[in-house]
Structure 1
Amino acid sequence: MPPAATTNLGYTPPDGGWGWAVVFGAFISIGFSYAFPKSLTIYFKEIQEYFSVSYSAIAWVSSVMLASMYAGGPVSSILVNRYGSRPVVLVGGIMVSAAMVLASFGTTIMHLYLCVGVVGGFGLAFNLQPALTIIGTYFQVKRPLANGLAMTGSPVVLFTLAPLNQFLFDSFGWRGSFLILGSIVLNCCIAGALMRPVNKHVQPKPKTEAPLCNGADTEGDVVVDSSAQAANLLTEENQIEEKNQGPVHKFIDVSLFKHRGFLIYLTGNVVMFFGFFAPVVFLAPYAKHQGIDEYSAAFLLSIFALVDMLIRPATGFIGNTKWIRPRIQYFFSFAVSYNGICHLLCPLAPGYVGLVVYAIFFGLGFGMVSALLFEVLMDLVGAHRFSTAVGLVTIIECGPVLLGPPISGALVDIFGDYKYMYYTCGVLMLVPGIFFFVMHYYNYKKLGEEQRQTVTVVKRTSEETVELNMNQGDTTAHHFSQSSGHEPSMSRQKL
Structure 2
Amino acid sequence: MTDGDKHVDEKKVASQDPETVEKELEEVGFVAPPDGGYGWAIVASSFLLNMIVDGVIFTVGKILQPAWVLGFGISEASAAMTMSILSGFYFFVGPFASALCNVFGCRQVALSGSIIAAVGFLLSIPAPNIYALYLTFGLIAGAGFGMMYLPAIVIISQYFAKKRSLATGIAVCGSGIGTTVFAMLNDVVWEFVKKDWQQFLIYTATVTISGFAAALLLRPLRASQSQIEKVAEIVENYEEHKEKVPESPSLSKHNTPFLSSLELHTAGKHANGVHRNGSVKSIIEAVARDVEELNRPLARMDIFYTGSTTNIAARSRTGTMNREEAAEHLKHLRDSVREDTPLQYLSKHELNVADDGTLQHVEEKSVMRDIGQALKNLLDRQLLGSPSFLLLALSGTLTLCCFYVPFIYLGNHLDKIEGLTTAEKSFTVSLIGVLNIIARIGCGYIADRPEVSALVVNNIALICAGLATMTVPFYTAYWHFLVFCIPFSIGVACFAALRSVIVLELIGLEKMSNAFGILLTFMGVGAVIGSPMAAAMKDYTGNFDTSFYVMGALMTISGAMCIPLGALRKWEMNRVSKSDAKAEVELQKLTEESQLIQKEVKA
Q: Shorter-chain TM-score: which interval?
A: 0.7 to 0.9
Provide the residue aligned with 1:104 in structure 2. 125
Measure the CA separation in 2 of the matches of 1:171 and 1:179: 13
Provide the residue aligned with 1:281 in structure 2. 408
**CA 168–243 in structure 1, closer or farther in 2 if over 3 Å, else same:** same
Provide the residue aligned with 1:79 in structure 2. 100
C-alpha deviation, 1:108, in angstroms: 2.1
Measure the CA separation in 1 of the matches of 2:172 and 2:445: 13
Indicate conservation of the 8 Å contact 1:155/1:309, yes or no: yes
Indicate conservation of the 8 Å contact 1:146/1:316, yes or no: no
Measure the CA separation in 1 of the matches of 2:354 and 2:439: 42
Indicate conservation of the 8 Å contact 1:242/1:249, yes or no: no
Higher fraction of helix: 1
Provide the residue aligned with 1:443 in structure 2. 569
1:21 corresponds, among 24, 30, 41, to 41
Measure the CA separation in 2 of the matches of 1:243 and 1:421: 53
Provide the residue aligned with 1:116 in structure 2. 137
**Secondary structure of the structure 1 residue equivalent to 2:415:** helix
**Secondary structure of the structure 2 residue equivalent to 1:282:** helix
Matches within 5 A, 1:119-158: 119-158=140-179
Provide the residue aligned with 1:267 in structure 2. 394
**CA 303–372 in structure 1, closer or farther in 2 if over 3 Å, else same:** same
C-alpha deviation, 1:425, in angstroms: 1.5
RMSD, aligned α-carbons: 3.6
Higher relative contact order (CA 8 A, sep 6+): 1
C-alpha deviation, 1:404, in angstroms: 0.7
Provide the residue aligned with 2:469 in structure 1. 343
Return the letter of the residue paired with 2:56.
F
Deviations 1:134-176 (A, max 9, x none): 2222333333333332221111111111111111111113222
Provide the residue aligned with 2:428 in structure 1. 300
Indicate conservation of the 8 Å contact 2:59/2:407, yes or no: no
Measure the CA separation in 1 of the matches of 2:388 and 2:46: 26
Relative to structure 2, which stretch is displaced further, 242-251 or 60-69? 242-251
**CA 54–281 in structure 1, closer or farther in 2 if over 3 Å, else same:** same
**CA 249–99 in structure 1, closer or farther in 2 if over 3 Å, else same:** closer
Matched, 1:182 2:309: no
2:50 corresponds, among 30, 42, 52, to 30
Indicate conservation of the 8 Å contact 1:142/1:320, yes or no: no
Measure the CA separation in 2 of the matches of 1:245 and 1:383: 27
**Secondary structure of the structure 2 residue equivalent to 1:252:** helix
Measure the CA separation in 2 of the matches of 1:274 and 1:56: 14
Provide the residue aligned with 2:59 in structure 1. 39
**CA 448–141 in structure 1, closer or farther in 2 if over 3 Å, else same:** farther
C-alpha deviation, 1:445, in angstroms: 7.5
Matched, 1:195 2:218: yes
C-alpha deviation, 1:242, in angstroms: 7.8
Measure the CA separation in 1 of the matches of 2:54 and 2:353: 38
**CA 317–17 in structure 1, closer or farther in 2 if over 3 Å, else same:** farther
2:480 corresponds, among 354, 359, 373, to 354
Deviations 1:85-107 (A, max 9, x none): 11000000111111222223333
Provide the residue aligned with 1:313 in structure 2. 441
Matched, 1:366 2:387: no
Indicate conservation of the 8 Å contact 2:72/2:129, yes or no: yes
Provide the residue aligned with 1:479 in structure 2. none
Measure the CA separation in 1 of the matches of 2:159 and 2:511: 15
Measure the CA separation in 2 of the matches of 1:154 and 1:144: 16
Measure the CA separation in 2 of the matches of 1:243 and 1:278: 48
**Secondary structure of the structure 2 residue equivalent to 1:16:** coil
2:375 corresponds, among 251, 262, 265, to 251
Deviations 1:13-61 (A, max 9, x none): 3333332322222222223232312211223223321222221121112
Consecutive unaligned residues in structure 1, runs of 5 or more:
1-7, 204-226, 455-495
C-alpha deviation, 1:428, in angstroms: 0.9
Consecutive unaligned residues in structure 2, runs of 5 or more:
1-25, 231-312, 318-343, 356-368, 581-603
**Secondary structure of the structure 1 residue equivalent to 2:402:** coil
Measure the CA separation in 2 of the matches of 1:435 and 1:199: 44
Return the letter of the residue paired with 2:557.
V
C-alpha deviation, 1:387, in angstroms: 4.9
Measure the CA separation in 2 of the matches of 1:242 and 1:278: 46
Return the letter of the residue paired with 1:123.
G
Measure the CA separation in 1 of the matches of 2:508 and 2:206: 37
Q: Percent identity?
A: 23
Indicate conservation of the 8 Å contact 2:97/2:109, yes or no: yes
2:82 corresponds, among 57, 61, 66, to 61
1:419 corresponds, among 545, 552, 559, to 545
C-alpha deviation, 1:122, in angstroms: 0.6
Indicate conservation of the 8 Å contact 1:137/1:383, yes or no: no
Return the letter of the residue paired with 2:502.
V
The TM-score normalised by the length of structure 2 is: 0.62
C-alpha deviation, 1:250, in angstroms: 4.3
The TM-score normalised by the length of structure 1 is: 0.74
Relative to structure 2, which stretch is displaced further, 332-341 or 150-159? 332-341
Measure the CA separation in 1 of the matches of 2:389 and 2:111: 30
Measure the CA separation in 1 of the matches of 2:517 and 2:206: 28
Return the letter of the residue paired with 1:177.
F
2:115 corresponds, among 94, 99, 106, to 94
C-alpha deviation, 1:441, in angstroms: 4.0
Indicate conservation of the 8 Å contact 1:61/1:117, yes or no: yes
Indicate conservation of the 8 Å contact 1:74/1:388, yes or no: no
**Secondary structure of the structure 2 residue equivalent to 1:53:** coil
Matches within 5 A, 1:226-245: none
**CA 240–69 in structure 1, closer or farther in 2 if over 3 Å, else same:** closer
Measure the CA separation in 1 of the matches of 2:512 and 2:220: 17
Relative to structure 2, which stretch is displaced further, 302-311 or 136-145? 136-145
**CA 437–17 in structure 1, closer or farther in 2 if over 3 Å, else same:** farther
Measure the CA separation in 2 of the matches of 1:20 and 1:160: 23
Provide the residue aligned with 1:478 in structure 2. none
Measure the CA separation in 1 of the matches of 2:505 and 2:155: 15
Indicate conservation of the 8 Å contact 2:110/2:212, yes or no: yes
